Structure 1
Amino acid sequence: MPFVSIVMPVYNEVPGPGDDSLSVRIHALIELLRQGDDLLLVDGGSTDHSWATLQLLAVHPQVTAIQSGKGRAQQMNSGAARAGGEVLLFLHADTALNSEAWSAFLTKLNECLWGRFDVRIEGKSAWLPVVAWFMNRRSRLSKIGTGDQALFVSRALFNRVGGFPDQSLMEDIELCKRLKRVAPRQFLAISSPVFTSGRRWDLNGAWATILLMWRFRFLYWRGVSAETLAKLYADTRQKSPLTVAVFAKYPYPGRVKTRLAPLLGAEQCAAFARYLLLSTLDKLQGMNVVLWTDGGSDQQWAELLRGRAVQRCVQPEGHLGKRMQTAVETHLKRSELVLLLGPDAIEFTQADLHELQRAARQCGLAFVPAHDGGYVALACNRNVPEIFSASIAWGTASVAEQTRAALQQQHLSAVWLPSQLDIDEPADLDRAIELGCLPVDWPVRYQATE
């Protein structure tokens, strides 16, 4: 029986050390490999933790991790060139191959020249089973598969047609067209499905995604180049995995942390606000952070930030909900997930950030509530206007309660993680020092002359 090489292109699949679902899928895949099979993990220049993760996975003797230029066609061709098997199976990083599908594939291996699996799409939309049914039916009739269906081909035939074409989009369609011309009767459709992520449909809407994909297929059929289509295509992998939006006022004495004034005085309140902001930004170092500011000139902020690599946006006029909604709408255009954070979330750690990300990726919306009735952080993969409404009493102890009620009224679910301390009252300051999340010497940590 021929040996199989599984080739997986990877790009920005591991946002952080604590947010790694890729390794789980890879370990499950390794369990399927027979003696003589191998797995090629091909990174396309990821900017997150993907490459480091692939290197750790490559300690297994049947796993090889390599790097190539960005683009699935280029990555899969690079993997195929290093593969040892007589049959190549191309599996996207967000597609899972289970034991049932693998066993069905192995039973057909001796007659294998090329083909694809049926697919099931995992996501929230009720339309996804319908989408998958039409995908599977259409490809059986047309003998044109897609990358989500895990294409496979004998090495000899793959080399004969020249591998994947060097194009940034529709490379799977073009490969199938070439294979169909050369070996139309050797096409195999495996009924046991692979399972692929429905993140495109969930993020952009089922019907919008369906119409977009069919529009692109039509344009490609009409002769529009793959390069032209690629410039138009807003694939979720072209978005950054996460943007953290931090909201802060410029620390003018008398304008920030005023409830602490009886204990600290106006000048020390400003110094404390400065400490909270700069320590939060340093805690988020290396992440995609945007600072949404209220007050202060460009020069003042430049002097305060002291060269920290942080993009800055000015908060719009209006209540806090409107300001947060503006940030969410802005960043979801370029990011899969947006996390809103205030600098007084003194207990919030990197571990909390990763947990909040995981919850939001699973549910779409996740909060870290505050002990005082508000919330210290919010993460979402879509805009939910109801939670930013003017009807919520912003700045009061009823914010979290009213947010839960708004979600319930819209029949929307969210994950609420354990509550944390934020610092507004003098007692909060003592409690933070007691918990160890605020150093006693905070006044000298970020002095104005740093």
Structure 2
Amino acid sequence: MKKDRVSIIIPVLNEEKTISKVLSSVAGSIKSEDFELIVVDGGSQDQTKKKYFNQIEKLELHSKCTWVDCKKGRAHQMNAGALIAKYNVLYFVHSDTLLPKGFDKHIVKTLQKAPAGCFRLKFDSDGFFLKFFAFFTRFNYLICRGGDQTLFLRKEVFENLLGFDSRYKIYEDNEFISRIYKQYNFSIAEDVVITSARKYRKIGFMKLQFHYALIHAFYFLGFGPKTLKYHYNRFIKSQL
């Protein structure tokens, strides 16, 4: 049987404040020496690229890391990373997410149950409101999924589903996961990833969750990617 090896794909755009932390998280948490890390940039105008190269120098990750320039759009970026990935397991991680110790071992173990999966979620906030919503990420229902939980799957599954739909400028993770649920089994790993609550702090906890819920509802009611993007830009992006 072919050994499972992980290609970690991180899309970035103007992430100078988070890129060093996520690289350190990968280096400090992974158990295997046999992995690759692909950072796909969508045209950052800040110091993301400089901080990336400084950090991989510091962490001595040169032989493991690849920087890719790509057109803007997280779906485009993640597809570009998957296209050059050389290993049989793809792991998509947001740049403001921190990974649990031995995350690669958790991934391999979980993929023995299903060809795709994710971690449970925890926010870097002690507030009850976000703890309440994070609690439900342990349940294996589509409504409980989101890109912040990270996503891992066998490369053949990704290819069979033709990757992320680049028409979705937002909600691309959920749209792709919904297609996984329709055709494959999905499993939840037993540990948590920690994601930033920065948008909630900026916009307001209840207000942001309300608009996320509306976007979920629009998708399940059959509205297309343009409607989802319009709502996100008007009520979320404009407040950041």
Does the alignment pair 1:24 with 2:27? no
Gap regions ≥5 residues in structure 2 = none
Shift in Å, 1:125: 3.6
The Cα offsets for residues 19-47 of structure 1, whole Å up to 9 and x where unpaired, read as x4421330231241623310111111111
Q: Which residue in the other structure is 2:194 paired with?
A: 195
Report the secondary structure of 1:84's partner residue: coil
Partner residue in 2 for 1:148: 148
Distance, in Å, in 2 between the alignment partners of 1:109 and 1:214 is 29
Q: Which secondary structure state, in structure 2, belongs to the residue aligned with residue 92 of structure 1?
A: coil
C-alpha displacement of 1:173:
1.5
- State how many pairs are aligned: 232
Correspondences of 1:85-96 after superposition (within 5 Å) = 85-96=87-98
Q: CA contact under 8 A between 2:111 and 2:153: conserved in structure 1?
A: no
SS at match of 1:233: helix
Q: Decide whether the 8 Å contact of 1:123 with 1:202 is kept in 2.
A: no
Counterpart amino acid of residue 165 in structure 1: D
The residue number in structure 2 matching 1:301 is none
d(CA) in 1 for partners of 2:43 and 2:227? 22
Paired residue for 1:39, among 37, 40, 45?
37
Matches within 5 A, 1:32-431: 32=30, 34-57=32-55, 60-123=62-125, 125-137=127-139, 140-142=140-142, 145-166=145-166, 167-183=168-184, 186-234=185-233, 238=237, 333=239, 336=240
Contact 2:10 2:78 in 1 (8 A): yes
What one-letter code is carried by the residue in structure 2 that aligns with 1:96? Answer: L
| Contact 1:144–1:177, Cα closer than 8 Å, also in 2 | no
Deviation at 1:51, TM superposition (A): 2.1
- Aligned twin of 2:7: 5
Give the distance between the partners of 1:57 and 1:81, measured in 2 at CA. 24
8 A Cα contact 2:203 2:236, kept in partner: no
What amino acid sits opposite 2:47 in the alignment?
H
Alpha-carbon spacing, 1:147–1:111, altered in 2? closer, same or farther (3 Å): same
C-alpha separation in 2, matches of 1:61 and 1:237? 38
Distance 2:43 2:135 in 1: 34
Task: Give me the identity figure in percent.
Answer: 27
Moved more, 140-149 or 219-228: 140-149
Shift of 1:145: 2.4
Per the alignment, in what secondary structure is the counterpart of residue 141 of structure 2? helix
Q: How far apart are residue 120 of structure 1 and its match?
A: 0.4
With over 3 angstroms needed to count, the CA separation of the structure-2 counterparts of 1:24 and 1:219, relative to structure 1, is closer
Higher relative contact order, structure no. (Cα contacts within 8 Å, ≥ 6 residues apart): 2
Q: CA deviation at 1:209?
A: 1.1
Aligned to 1:433: none
Give, in whole Å, the separation in 2 of the partners of 1:237 and 1:27. 29
Q: CA deviation at 1:219?
A: 1.0
Q: Is the 8 A contact 1:169 1:229 kept in 2?
A: yes
Partner of 1:330: none
Deviates more, 1:195-204 or 1:223-232: 223-232
AA matched with 2:200 = W
In 2, the alpha carbon distance for the partners of 1:210 and 1:143 equals: 14
- Unaligned ranges ≥5, structure 1: 15-19, 240-332, 337-450
- The TM-score, its normalising length taken from structure 2, stands at 0.87
Which amino acid is the alignment partner of residue 88 of structure 2?
E
Asked whether the 8 Å contact 2:41–2:69 carries over to 1, the reply is: yes
Structure number with larger C-alpha Rg: 1
In 2: Cα distance, 1:162 partner to 1:126 partner: 39
Tell me if the contact between 1:44 and 1:68 (Cα under 8 Å) persists in the aligned partners. yes
Contact 2:122 2:192 in 1 (8 A): yes
Q: Is the 8 A contact 1:92 1:150 kept in 2?
A: yes
Residue by residue, what CA displacement relative to the aligned partner does 1:139-186 show, whole Å, maximum 9, x if unpaired?
Answer: x13376211011111000100000011121221111112112221xx3
Which letter does structure 2 place at the counterpart of 1:34?
Answer: S
3-state DSSP class of the match of 1:105? Answer: helix
Q: How far off its partner does 1:111 sit?
A: 4.5
Deviations 1:382-401 (Å, cap 9, x if unpaired)? xxxxxxxxxxxxxxxxxxxx
Q: Is the 8 A contact 1:7 1:42 kept in 2?
A: yes
Question: In the TM superposition, what is the alpha-carbon distance from 1:106 to its structure 2 partner?
Answer: 3.2
SS at match of 2:165: coil
